[in-house]
Each structure stands twice: as C-alpha cells, then as structure tokens.
Amino acid sequence: MATYFVGDIQGCFDELMAVLDKVDFNPSRDQLWAVGDLVARGEGSLETLHYLRSLGESAQVVLGNHDLHLLAVQKGLKRANPKDNLQSLLKANDLPELIDWLRAQPLYRFDESSKIIMTHAGVPPHWSLQKLQLRADAVSEVLQSDDYIERLISQMYTDNVADDRGDMTELEHHIYCINALTRMRYLSPNGHLDFACKMPPEQVDDPALSPWFTYASETHPKYTLVFGHWAALMGNVPSESLHALDTGCCWGEHLTLWHKESDQKITQKRLKKS
C-alpha cells in the first residue's frame, strides 16, 4: 500500500488525475490524503468532489477555507468569488449530497502509526495534539448537526477572533479553531493571527510577523505536520518534518503529491486549457 498526500486541488481535476496517473494510484490498495481547498479556482470542482467521494475510505480529506466557504455560498449567505469556477458545482443535482459529504470531513487527520498530522493551514504552536483533537472535533460536531448554518457558518466570518483566550465563548472557540486551522500563515510573538499578509517569508520585513511554523511548538517536531493553504511558500519550509504541499496549481504553477513511504515529491504542471 502506498500513501499519497496532495496539496490544494482547488478544482484542478485534470491535474489531479494526471499526477495520480504518474504514480499508478490504485484506490484498492493505496490511500490519498488531501489537505483541503478541494474546490474553487479550477474548472473541475464538481469532478473533484465526485472523485474523492467515490474513493470512500481510500480518501482521507480535511476541510480548507474554500470548502467551508462553499457551505456558505450554497446556502446563499455568501457570494461566490468572481475568480472561482463553481457554476457547474452549484447547479449539480447532487449538490446537497456533496455538501453533506463535505460536512462530514474533519479539520484534521492523524496517522498514529506514522505520527503525521494533516490540517489545511497548520497547527497553532501552543496546541498539543490532544488540544487540536478536542477543539477540532467540537467544530466537526457542529458542522454535522442539522442546524450547522445557524450555529456556525452564518457567524464564522470574522477576523476579530485571532487570539486563543481562556474567556472566549463556545462560538469564539469554534471560530478561532477554524481561523487557525484553515487560514493561518503569520503570527505575532504573542500568538495573534495575522490574516493580511500572504507573502513568502523572505519578502516580509515586519519584525512583528513570523511564520507559524517558526515558533516553538507542542506538536512539531514530535509529529510530522502536513499542510497546504500557503502557495507563496512553494513548498519551502525549514524542517524535514514539515510538508507544505500547496504549490499554486490554480495560479498556473503545479500540483504536488508527497509519497510518504519514499519521501518523494511528484509534481504536475498546470495544464493549458483549450
């Protein structure tokens, strides 16, 4: 059995199929772990969800910020970004079933045998594995409830919950968890999430901002952390036990697949559309 981790697909379905063909991926024997942001900018968001859903237990998926945004768009709470290609997905007859499948996906995956944690954007440095599980599982419980829109989706859009304080309400805990696990890039020294800066670290001259993975961590390097979300990194991270897999396929770069057993990266350049 081979285990593959893939970066942000963002609806780039043809590129996903191409890179999986390169490794002769077979869902009857192999597993595909996806770091989230399954949908949005590429032309094949509907096909991507159909494919991943069809894999059953051979697909291990986490939710990204674009996937959560889809939940709000589908209910009319938000408009689709003009740069997204969600028209065919939003018109699909089985959209409700695909939304329910998405809601059932967690914010993290943990492979105990390999000591691998996968989230979309990373893990807050002050969180232990146990705290990650506790907080993310609480969000998943709400997402899988019948009133998930009222309890969470309609209220999760705020940059004001950027600090993990002890006096927060239950809703604020959920929002911080979503902000940290699906939107995090830079932190200030006191742990404050910065949502504005998306540049690569070498271009940032603000001494108050550092990448989240440069801080002393409760999870790393005890565990290998796999994440996406930050295309500007182009996979460049300072540790062999960090794997940044978003390499900007939807922006014209390439899709990255990490083969865990051989510790090799396989890439597929963005395909030109006719």
Residue 274 has pLDDT above 70, yes or no: no
Read off the pLDDT of residues 24-42 as tens digits, 9 standing for 90 and up.
Answer: 999 999 999 999 999 999 9
Write down the CATH superfamily of domain 3-269. Metallo-dependent phosphatases (3.60.21.10)
pLDDT-based confidence at residue 83 (cuts at 50, 70, 90): confident
Which is nearest to 39 in space by CA: 1, 2, 4, 90? 90
Mean of pLDDT values over 220-225? 96
- Bridging pattern class, strands 242-244 and 224-227: parallel
| Residue 126 burial (C-beta neighbours within 10 Å; 0-12, 13-18, 19+) | middle
- Per the DSSP assignment, residues forming a β-bridge with 32 are 4, 59
Kindly report, residue by residue over 48-78, the tens digit of the pLDDT.
Answer: 999 999 999 999 999 999 999 999 999 999 9
Q: What is the pTM of this model?
A: 0.97
Residue 250 vs residues 13, 158, 196, 201, 203: alpha-carbon distances, Å: 10, 25, 20, 21, 22
What's the pLDDT score for residue 8?
A: 98
Please write the tens of the pLDDT for every residue from 144-159.
Answer: 999 999 999 999 999 9
Residues in the chain: 274
Q: What is the pLDDT of residue 245?
A: 98
Can you give the residue ranges of every domain in the chain? 3-269
Give the confidence band of 209 by pLDDT, cuts at 50, 70, 90: very high
